[in-house]
Structure 1
Amino acid sequence: MTGAATDTAASGPVLAADGAPLKRSLRRALRAQKLRALMLIAPLLVFVLVTFIAPIADMLFRSVENQIVSDTLPRTAREIRDYDPDSGEMPSDRVLAAFTYDLVAAAERKQHTRLGSRLNYEYSGISSLFRKTGRRVDDFGESYLDQFVAVDPAWEEPATWVALMADPDWTASYRAWSAARDAAKAAGEPFALAQPLFALRDGVGDVLPETASAYAEFARIVQVEDDDDPAAEEPWAPVYLALYRDLLHIGPGAVARLGPEAEAMLDAAHDAVEDFAPVDLSGLYLKADRDWADPGVWGTIRAFSPAYTPGYFLNAVDLRLTADGIAAQPEDRRIYIMLFERTLFMSLAIMGSCVLLGYPIAYLLSNLPLRTSNLLMILVLLPFWTSLLVRTSAWKVLLQQQGVINDILVWLGIVSNSGRLILINNQTGTIIAMTHILLPFMILPLYSVMKTIPPSYVRAAKSLGATNWTAFWRVYFPQSVPGIGAGCILVFILAIGYYITPELVGGTSGTFISNRIAYHISSSLNWGLAAALGAILLGVVLILYWAYDKLVGIDNVSLG
């Protein structure tokens, strides 16, 4: 019996001290350990997500986001898809009517100028078109207003429109809300109850689709933007344009669904609209500004009506999205490819000059006695304690034609007074100033790696017959390569994103792509193009980083 029990116990699961299976206890302990570790790094993880990952994701999104057009001109975006700019004509009345409803609403919300500025990046002159027409579009359809009022003066009454368009439940709710607000105001009490937003009555959108859409937007803007009662405000003139267009195409008996009072009023208007004097919408736009006849304007609106666009990235590589597809920018606007090439070339030049100047300094510091090297290291670190703006301004003084360097060269007779060197407002000035600024970032990694190289290696090589140069090149230099790699990565990545120093000493030929990014963010406010340029710059850095890893190996980079 004892042997059988022992065999049974041996064949069963191994138990922990609490009687649970050991495997389950180990999994539970490991899970708890991982959770504790995650909680320890959670603050750092959240910080990185908020300050690093989220801004990059937002930048990438802004580089393709184009919702301002579809959000501001929703009806136009749907109707203009079939427009052909190659026809050389303005869009059809259907598109122009949709654009009128959208533009008057945008003008009331003060959004039309912002939209015009966005489209002006793609087609020069659109901004002024939107601004000028936005002041007049609320009169488009005034002729129809007069003709409807001539049929029945009730069409001019705001209450008529509310009775025709509004949901009875909304009307009751709004009246109750308005009464409660007035009572609170009379009593001097705070009132925080949100007002019920205008709602259309059932079926009106099927019978009068354009009118219902235009009037609903009017009513909501009156409520939200103007804080007024739709029943006290006469509709915009374009609402009468919508009513005219709907009644022209309405089917027989369709208005019966809206009730007897609405049926009688709409039947009378329906019978009269056939005799109305039509208004040429294209003529109204041309009267506002002759540039509306340009098919390129409408083609640009059509091309950028989708919510997402490659237009920013195309602009960033000197291309553009046109009504006919992708085309090259005019020659006088092709600057970005040149700026990218210049940025890469000058960043590599700055990196190379930092290697040439920094390597001997780091070698000297690592081989001098500790007290002397510490004193000299203070001089290397001294620029970190001086403002970047002060250092750059000092170089402006040193490098200008009447500056210190030219004066010394003239005094020494190296150059004549009339042949002073042009060292500023060009690439030379940028490379000199940025090499000075970034040199410590090359020296410090080199110094930290060189301090770890045992001097006995070089002495052993010399004892075996190697010359000073052979011992350095074959023994010392290969061990310092990780420091060179670390310094090159630091200097190159810092240089490629600099914009203050190139802006101050670079002039027109020494600026970087980062200067253009800063310009679009702070001055032109073309954040989409700035995001696209930044995304491309990020992609270039990642590609170069990948290439460096393949050629040199990122594992060989060391900070000592």
Structure 2
Amino acid sequence: MTDAAMTQDAVVPQAGQMRAADGTPLKKSLARALRRQKLRALALVAPLLIFVLVTFIAPIADMLFRSVENQIVADTLPRTVVALKGWDPSSGEAPDEPVFQALATDFQIAAEQKNHTKLGSRLNYENPGISSLFRKTGRGADDIGDTFMDRFTDLDEAWKEPGTWAALFGSDEWLADQAAWTEAGDRKASQPGFKLRDGVADALPITTGVYRTFARDVQSDGRKSPADTKPWPVLFSALAQDLSATPPDALTAIEGADTALLQNAAGAVGGFEPYLYKEAFLDIDKDWGDVDKWETIKAYSPPYTPGYFLNAVDLEQAPEGIQARPAQQQIYIKLFVRTLWMSLMITFCCLLLGYPVAWLLANLRASTANVLMILVLLPFWTSLLVRTSAWKVLLQQQGVINDILVWLGIVDNAGRLVMINNQFGTIVAMTHILLPFMILPLYSVMKTIPPTYLRAAKSLGATPWTAFWRVYFPQSVPGIGAGSILCFILAIGYYITPELVGGTNGVFISNRIAYHISTSLNWGLAAALGSILLGAVLLLYYVYDKIVGIDNVKLG
């Protein structure tokens, strides 16, 4: 039987169903082939897709997350945040003793882990002065724990021993594993993870949380054992809080531990001299009595906050609601407006200068056009910093342009023009830098317009201007759109050139973003400013698409 006959027999309906040559249903065979083609196509584009995700999508997603992320307050002061829920800022008074008691535990832990300065820097963005308050308190917070340590060690010297705490809070299994690790002496081997003793978390909740943090912090470097490391002073103040609130019979619920030492301490805690946590913090710094400091901590205690976006539009989150920032601090709206206006002005200047050049390149003979094209591309072969610095030399009051104007008598030596460290200098320098990005799209589109169209229009009686405006210009609109979008998007994100030639009146919002990323380290505000800038660009892009049509944008 011939191959054609076999193929024909293979697709003949058998039992009412079309089948392929291998006997499988034709529909299933086609679906399998189509799936293989899709997988093959996906494998071809996968490297590029992964590259785009890693270098473009992921940074944007991270920026959007950073603009609302605010977990540092709740992570650093978890007990204080919970205690503050019952405090009413409108009372006009600082929180009561329970809040300061929770703050004492949180702050001592933060000081041990060196996190209090990070939190102070974060809150200082919202309330200047908190950073110094946190640094000063970090230096004196251990005095609270030291007071209770003296009280406990006066009862029994065993409280000074790291092994006492390890035996009380660590499980027997962990203690055995930890002892074996210590005896082996191999500090490169991983330590056994800390395991809590059953029942201790219910009997001593505050101290358990502190000791777990202590054990993990000690084990983080892989060289020390919690059973051999001096306990943090905060453990003593936390233990005093727990024993004051826990009935003595609850201590018997701690499984497998010798609680005799603990029960003796529980009986003695009631005789301790009352400790005033609020007074202790006020002795460290009287600013802990300021309501506005506590308002800031409470306002920014949620894990996510609109505060960065509010600051980015010159607003702030106050106890009575969202309100405008003081007039002397309102700079970002002005910078956004200036950035958009100057970017549009730079784009217009590029179009005004670039359109005739592109027309010449497209209509001159090839040899002349090639020479001009080299001149257009020449700026790409020169460093951006060199070009910007050259404009500083040209535009400054003692620069080349002013010297020529004085020599020609156009301006007086005492009245030299101020052309730098202002908006004019930024527009001139950036127009020169972005001009090739306007010329090249225009040229690529104009090169495709047949010159016969203009000759035909003139032969039908149109004037040169009418022929250009009615015939040539509409066909060059796609190049205008492409060049304008390219120049505008590049201009709106520039920060090197405005920084060098813009002074205080010619800088863009991108300069503030760069400042917050590299100098003030306020990455949340920088992310919020960047997100708003991204949103503004996308909005303008959408408006442009509705008015002009993005399909009309071509690069040639």
Write the distance in 2 (CA, Å) between the matches of 1:495 and 1:22: 57
Write the letter of the residue equivalent to 1:119: L
- Residue deviations 1:312-338, cap 9 Å, x none? 111111112234432222211111110
Which stretch shifts more, 326-335 or 373-382?
A: 326-335
**Residues 444, 555 of structure 2: 8 Å contact kept:** yes
Q: CA deviation at 1:460?
A: 0.9
Structure 1 residue 15 corresponds to structure 2 residue 19 = yes
Write the letter of the residue equivalent to 1:447: Y
1:200 aligns with one of 191, 196, 202:
196
- Residue deviations 1:431-481, cap 9 Å, x none? 011011111111111111111111111111111111111111111111111
Structure 1 residue 531 corresponds to structure 2 residue 493 = no
Judging changes above 3 Å, is the alpha-carbon distance between structure 1 residues 10 and 463 closer, same or farther for their aligned structure 2 residues? farther
Structure 1 residue 68 corresponds to structure 2 residue 72 = yes
- Residue deviations 1:493-531, cap 9 Å, x none? 000000011000000000000011111111111111111
Which stretch shifts more, 96-105 or 473-482?
A: 96-105
Write the distance in 2 (CA, Å) between the matches of 1:226 and 1:80: 36
Which stretch shifts more, 446-455 or 244-253?
A: 244-253
Judging changes above 3 Å, is the alpha-carbon distance between structure 1 residues 320 and 225 closer, same or farther for their aligned structure 2 residues? farther
Q: CA deviation at 1:10?
A: 8.0
Structure 1 residue 424 corresponds to structure 2 residue 424 = no
Match of 1:494?
Answer: 490
Structure 1 residue 338 corresponds to structure 2 residue 334 = yes
Match of 1:122?
Answer: 126
Write the distance in 1 (CA, Å) between the matches of 2:527 and 2:234: 38
Write the distance in 1 (CA, Å) between the matches of 2:200 and 2:341: 65
**Residues 86, 295 of structure 1: 8 Å contact kept:** no
2:344 aligns with one of 348, 353, 360:
348
Judging changes above 3 Å, is the alpha-carbon distance between structure 1 residues 45 and 362 closer, same or farther for their aligned structure 2 residues? same
2:380 aligns with one of 372, 380, 384:
384
**Residues 97, 242 of structure 1: 8 Å contact kept:** no
**Residues 162, 229 of structure 2: 8 Å contact kept:** yes
Q: Structure 2 regions of 5+ residues with no counterpart?
A: 1-8
- Residue deviations 1:335-391, cap 9 Å, x none? 111000000000000011111111111112211111111111111111111111101
Q: CA deviation at 1:203?
A: 1.1
Identity %: 66
SS at match of 2:194: coil
Judging changes above 3 Å, is the alpha-carbon distance between structure 1 residues 215 and 440 closer, same or farther for their aligned structure 2 residues? same
Q: CA deviation at 1:43?
A: 1.0
Write the letter of the residue equivalent to 2:31: R
Write the letter of the residue equivalent to 1:387: S
Structure 1 residue 41 corresponds to structure 2 residue 45 = yes
Cα RMSD, aligned residues only: 2.1
Q: CA deviation at 1:44?
A: 0.9
Write the letter of the residue equivalent to 1:85: P
Write the distance in 2 (CA, Å) between the matches of 1:285 and 1:338: 41
Match of 1:188?
Answer: none
Judging changes above 3 Å, is the alpha-carbon distance between structure 1 residues 104 and 358 closer, same or farther for their aligned structure 2 residues? same
Q: CA deviation at 1:229?
A: 3.5
Which stretch shifts more, 382-391 or 83-92?
A: 83-92
Write the letter of the residue equivalent to 1:494: L
Q: CA deviation at 1:536?
A: 0.6
- Residue deviations 1:76-118, cap 9 Å, x none? 2322222223333332332222222222222222222122111
Structure 1 residue 222 corresponds to structure 2 residue 226 = no
Write the distance in 1 (CA, Å) between the matches of 2:16 and 2:246: 84
**Residues 350, 435 of structure 2: 8 Å contact kept:** yes
Write the letter of the residue equivalent to 1:116: G
SS at match of 1:326: strand
Q: How does 1:72-111 map to 2 (within 5 A)?
A: 72-111=76-115
Write the distance in 2 (CA, Å) between the matches of 1:27 and 1:159: 68
2:170 aligns with one of 157, 166, 169:
166
Q: How does 1:373-522 map to 2 (within 5 A)?
A: 373-522=369-518
**Residues 64, 308 of structure 1: 8 Å contact kept:** yes
Write the distance in 1 (CA, Å) between the matches of 2:422 and 2:47: 45
Write the distance in 1 (CA, Å) between the matches of 2:213 and 2:122: 23
Which stretch shifts more, 13-22 or 288-297?
A: 13-22
Write the letter of the residue equivalent to 1:228: K
Judging changes above 3 Å, is the alpha-carbon distance between structure 1 residues 225 and 85 closer, same or farther for their aligned structure 2 residues? farther
Match of 2:249?
Answer: 253
**Residues 89, 291 of structure 2: 8 Å contact kept:** yes
Write the letter of the residue equivalent to 2:261: M
Write the letter of the residue equivalent to 1:282: K
Write the distance in 1 (CA, Å) between the matches of 2:61 and 2:90: 38
Which stretch shifts more, 319-328 or 486-495?
A: 319-328
Q: CA deviation at 1:259?
A: 6.7
Write the distance in 2 (CA, Å) between the matches of 1:135 and 1:225: 24
Judging changes above 3 Å, is the alpha-carbon distance between structure 1 residues 259 and 57 closer, same or farther for their aligned structure 2 residues? closer
Q: TM-score, normalised by structure 2?
A: 0.93
Write the letter of the residue equivalent to 1:180: A
**Residues 109, 234 of structure 2: 8 Å contact kept:** no
**Residues 84, 299 of structure 1: 8 Å contact kept:** no
Judging changes above 3 Å, is the alpha-carbon distance between structure 1 residues 158 and 279 closer, same or farther for their aligned structure 2 residues? same
SS at match of 1:390: helix
Judging changes above 3 Å, is the alpha-carbon distance between structure 1 residues 409 and 233 closer, same or farther for their aligned structure 2 residues? same
Match of 1:320?
Answer: 316
Write the distance in 2 (CA, Å) between the matches of 1:488 and 1:66: 38
**Residues 198, 255 of structure 2: 8 Å contact kept:** no
Write the letter of the residue equivalent to 1:335: I
Which stretch shifts more, 162-171 or 379-388?
A: 162-171
Q: Structure 1 regions of 5+ residues with no counterpart?
A: 185-190
**Residues 90, 282 of structure 1: 8 Å contact kept:** no
Q: How many residues align?
A: 546
**Residues 205, 242 of structure 2: 8 Å contact kept:** yes
